[in-house]
Amino acid sequence: MKLLMFQAERFHYRSFLKTVAEAPDQDVDEALDDVAVIFVHAEAEDEARRDKVLSTALKNIKWLANKRQLKNVALHSFTHLSTSKATPEFAHAFLKELGTRLHTAGYAVWLTPFGYTCAWDLSVYGETIAKVFKAI
């Protein structure tokens, strides 16, 4: 699992191109303020260690969000951080579970359209801590 995480002043995304044939048709255009934006890359080996990866990802996301008291979290599937890739079914289920667990912990959660490339604008705070990469 790879996480590229940002503390963002603003994150605007919109569905652009469907890349997974089974994905439902979606036309999404959303803008969020004061949000932890988490680019998630699920790797093939994560499927065998799902519980450990989920627990560690949750801890890392909460840690980053809490550094700036952010209560908004956007999760974006981003399969460009490793050559190893989990199946789309695993990655999608994992993102949904991650979102549910964050919501249960008190965060407002958005998932960008799964199975799509998205166009996005990202305005990130300037501190070093506002840009974090984690390999789990």
CATH number, residue 39: 3.50.80.10
Its pTM stands at 0.94
Token pair listed for 54 = 């989920």
According to the model, what pLDDT value does residue 101 have?
98
pLDDT at position 80 over 90: no
Per-residue pLDDT tens digits for 82-132 = 999 999 999 999 999 999 999 999 999 999 999 899 999 999 999 999 999
Confidence of residue 21 (pLDDT cuts 50, 70, 90): confident
| Torsion sign (Cα): 90, 108, 73, 14 | positive
Query: Mean pLDDT, to the nearest integer, of 42-48?
Result: 97
Spatial separation of the C-alpha atoms in residues 57 and 121, rounded to whole Å? 24
Angle at 10 between CA 6 and CA 14, to 5 degrees: 95
Please state the domain count of the chain.
Answer: 1
Segments forming the whole domain that contains residue 27: 2-135
CB-CB contact of 121 with 6 (8 Å): no
- pLDDT for residue 54 is more than 90: yes
| 17 pLDDT higher than 90 | no
Residues 6+ apart with CB under 8 A from 64: 5, 7, 36, 38, 70, 129, 132
CA distance 45 to 106: 29
What is the residue type of 118? C
